[in-house]
Structure 1
Amino acid sequence: MRVLHLLNHTRRMNGHVHAAVDLACAQAKLGHTVAIASQGGEFDALLQENGIESFIVDHERRPGRILRSMVGLKGLLKRWRPDVVHAHMMTSTVLAWPACKLAGVRLITTVHNEFERGAILMGLGDRVIAVSAAVAKSMQKRGISASRIDVVLNGTIGSARMADRCEVPKALDHPAIVFVGGLHPRKGLPDLLQAFDAVHAQHPAVRLYVVGGGPTQDSYAQMAREMASAAAITFAGPQDDPYPWMLGADIFVLPSHADPAPLVLSEAREAGCAVIATQVDGIPELLDQGRSGILVPPNAPDKIADALRMLVTDPDLLQAWRAHSQIAIDNLRIERVAREVIAVYDRATGSRAKPSAA
């Protein structure tokens, strides 16, 4: 099958991009012919290494630019002749819809962040992939027919993007608690800071490491500096490869208020962390409804603190939850994601994918 992925760019530090790059590389490994059209970025070299052709398509949101990009994309579809176009972002979907209609090519969209107001635009796809059942339910409430929605749960283990990552654990002080993610309000980091401060008052050996950057980084760092536990909190900033931090951690905490299906939970589980995360959106699905990680309510620092105390005071229980993180972990492999997405393409085109070369 010939697959053209369309996204704004291929730069790092963006979950949409990571998911699309992982998927494209996995599809190529399965023997499909894959290309990506975007404004380019750091992942272009990785794509080339995996036999994926890259095309430049301007995604700037100006009326004149958008029209030119639509015309350019239509020309690309005529030249490259994909079986399907797979759009991963709202601008990409708006560009692709008229071009695909004119070229007679099926458009597949993936809804990564359904909480965004413009996510309804992803419903322009002939088939709409939801990255969790929670996202599918939300899109149905917005008026997208259930008959056009396919759920393909996120997973990233075994991806080409991870092939050269560092497998040496970061040297951290223990018990080590790690957060990895963008510093945005929806990630709920203030809840974790408050919980950690309460736990540290009773267990001063614990340490918290915050890995990631974002628009609220300075305000969160200031909040931490004003806490009694300030000396035990490290803001590491954004990292090209946060995996060593998870390898070095005892506990991974994701206190999100909204999170459709965060890729970081695949990595935290692969690293063998005991996981604490909030019971919102697709998080329970990524933790097997609480079998492979401890689920707590969102916006509840006291519940996060209770879970942390439970783990840091009982080494046997901590080890048990680290072992629980490996339950059904193969379901988070990128090959499973790639095969399920190819099956979606088959449903869209009414044909079968070409036999895998793998």
Structure 2
Amino acid sequence: MKLLQALFFPPEQPGGVSSMIPYMQERFTSPRWEMDLFSLPKRIRNKGREDVQFETFDWTKYQESPVVQKYMQTYRDYLWWTKLRIQKPYDLIHAHHPIAGLAMKSVFPDTPLIQTIHSSYERELILNGRIEPGALDHQFLIAIYGELEHQAERLLTVSESFRQYLTPYVKQPDVIGIIPNGFDEKRFKPIPHDNAIPQLVTVCRLVPAKGLDILFKACAELKGRGHDYVLHIIGDGPIRPDLEELAQRLGIYNETIFYGYTLHPEEFMPFFDIFVLPSRAEAFGSVFAEAALSCLALIGTDVGGIPEQIENGSNGLLVPPEDPSALAEALEKVMLDPSYRYELARSACEKAKTHYSLGRSVNELKKLYLQFASKA
């Protein structure tokens, strides 16, 4: 069976998709399976020129929005690149971004399409202050979900929470399948260590949706209570200067280390003690599974797919979003009790190995792919 995994970003880009798809390829290396990866290089900009129409809505009603204009130009670029680069036919295409799925179905209308929706672009834009709820760009982006449902033979997503989020925007939400991202255990090598000062770490894109302002305020409370710690920030993004200024203003700059973007944070994540990320929204939160496989104690917010990974008090701690004091209390609890911290980390690691292994995800996908084998 000839498979194409259609990504949007190149595989080396950060994110849940890149943490899984490239590592799947070796699991499909057999006489029965042949799998290729495809994505849009960053250098491809403003190449596409063709007129575009969708079958379920008229996108031109929203074309005054700069966000919609950029989205549609990227879609045209993806179409142009697909037609230029893909010459051979495939039995099945599995797309991991709406632009990738819609472009593939346009170019290969007779090839079955499985579409995984990994996250909510419009919700991220709202939380990051880029668009307003109900505005033209928001209406356009949620209309895309209905087009995807119409075009794809099967819709998937990564958590029950995100399936519920999609419910108002599709006709048959109950038939959306759920396959969480899977992670190759060989990438994660927990290391026994004993840090005299608790080492806190977060890994994310530096945008408002990740709630790092809340984390900094919580850390300021911890410092005010006399607790020593080091906070490691792995990632980059548009609000890094704002976060550095906030750390200085809160008096925690000396305790905070900004690393910038790192391609493989899992290589040194095991040397830290506590993973903390007070996101304002997460479809799944792949980085929590990665931190769990690195045997770190987990602290996250009770939003989106995070509580599907963290059972509060069992394999990590959940706190309400937008609550620095609650986050400070949770951090204090695991910082002051190394035995409790270890038990949380061990339980988190065991759950991640059981529920979020790459092998489990691959097996579920193979079963799904084989349903289309007779149609190939």
Same fold, TM exceeding 0.5?
Answer: yes
Instruction: Show the 5 A alignment for 1:113-152.
Output: 113-116=119-122, 117=138, 118=141, 120=145, 121-123=147-149, 124-152=151-179
Instruction: State which of 190, 198, 201 in structure 1 corresponds to 2:221.
Output: 198
TM-fit CA distance, 1:61: 7.4
Q: Distance in 2 between matches of 1:211 and 1:282?
A: 21
Check conservation: 2:3, 2:34, Cα contact below 8 A. yes
Letter of the 1:338 partner, please give it: V
Change (3 A) 1:197 1:31: farther
Change (3 A) 1:76 1:154: same
Task: Confirm whether residue 158 of structure 1 aligns to residue 166 of structure 2.
Answer: no
Check conservation: 1:170, 1:244, Cα contact below 8 A. no
Deviates most, 19-28 or 228-237 = 19-28
Change (3 A) 1:106 1:190: same
Match of 2:269, SS state, is helix
Paired residues in the alignment total 330
Higher relative contact order (CA 8 A, sep 6+): 1
Q: 1:51 maps to which residue?
A: none
TM-score relative to the length of structure 1: 0.81
Gaps of 5+ in 2: 51-72, 123-137
TM-fit CA distance, 1:245: 3.9
Q: 1:35 maps to which residue?
A: 36
Q: Distance in 1 between matches of 2:243 and 2:31?
A: 43
Change (3 A) 1:106 1:281: same
Q: 1:292 maps to which residue?
A: 315
Deviates most, 314-323 or 248-257 = 314-323
Gaps of 5+ in 1: 42-55, 354-358
TM-fit CA distance, 1:60: 5.3
Change (3 A) 1:27 1:289: farther
Letter of the 1:156 partner, please give it: F
Q: Distance in 2 between matches of 1:339 and 1:59?
A: 36
Task: Confirm whether residue 87 of structure 1 aligns to residue 73 of structure 2.
Answer: no
Q: Distance in 2 between matches of 1:239 and 1:76?
A: 30
Check conservation: 1:157, 1:270, Cα contact below 8 A. no
Q: CA RMSD in A?
A: 3.1
Check conservation: 2:285, 2:306, Cα contact below 8 A. yes
Instruction: State which of 362, 366, 373 in structure 2 corresponds to 1:342.
Output: 366
Check conservation: 2:10, 2:39, Cα contact below 8 A. yes
Q: Distance in 2 between matches of 1:76 and 1:211?
A: 35
Check conservation: 2:11, 2:22, Cα contact below 8 A. no
Match of 1:257, SS state, is coil
Change (3 A) 1:94 1:290: farther
Change (3 A) 1:309 1:352: farther
TM-fit CA distance, 1:90: 2.2
TM-score relative to the length of structure 2: 0.78
Give the fraction of aligned pairs with identical amino acids, expressed as a percent. Answer: 23
Match of 1:310, SS state, is helix
